[in-house]
Amino acid sequence: MPQPEILGTVPIAARLQRLGVELPEAAPTPIGAFRNVRQSGNLVYVSGQGPVLADGTLLRGKVGAEVSAETARDHARLVAVNILGALRDHFGGLDRLRGVVKLLGLVNAVPDFDRHPFVIDGASILLAELFGEEGIHARSAFGVGSLPNNITVEIEAIFEIDA
């Protein structure tokens, strides 16, 4: 993990590049009557995002059946990338972000699946690599019987920003 003193001086876009992460050209459009990002004070709430590829393809399936935990973990990492894309679109950049406060991760899983934390770690690890200590967040991760459009993972997030 990068040293905190280094993180504070390196723009987030450069950190993403060092990690080999490319944000989508635009964040996925909400599929309901809500917005992707809502700011209140110095907290920013990101609505649940899913594993959507840059070309708009949704990654679908039931984890523990046709989708492995390892594949779903990769999907969760992609969701973190899409969360960052939504924040970039909202703010016009990412450098106001101070860190991650909390994630809520939902896994579309078979009833006996029990590796929800492992799956959502795909997002958590990327955010910790990107923000260092300020990327280590509070989190809940659990399984659900279904998610919109049969996506594998949905994650919502709360970030802290500079005032």
- DSSP for 44-92 reads EEEEEE--B-TTSPBPB--BTTTB-HHHHHHHHHHHHHHHHHHHHHHHS
pLDDT at 4 over 50: no
Q: What is the mean pLDDT of the chain?
A: 93
Instruction: Using pLDDT thresholds of 50, 70 and 90, give the confidence band for residue 7.
Output: low
What tokens does 110 get?
A: 């078979």
| pTM, rounded to two decimals | 0.93
What is the percent of the chain where pLDDT is above 90? 82
3-state secondary structure of 129: helix
CATH of residue 94's domain is 3.30.1330.40
Count of structural domains within the chain: 1
pLDDT at 12 over 80: yes
Q: Which domain holds residue 96?
A: 4-161
pLDDT at 25 over 60: yes
Name residue 46's beta-bridge partners: 37, 157
CA angle 140, 50, 26 (to 5 degrees): 130
pLDDT at 1 over 80: no
User: Using one digit for the tens of pLDDT, what is the confidence trace for 30-42?
Assistant: 888 899 999 999 9
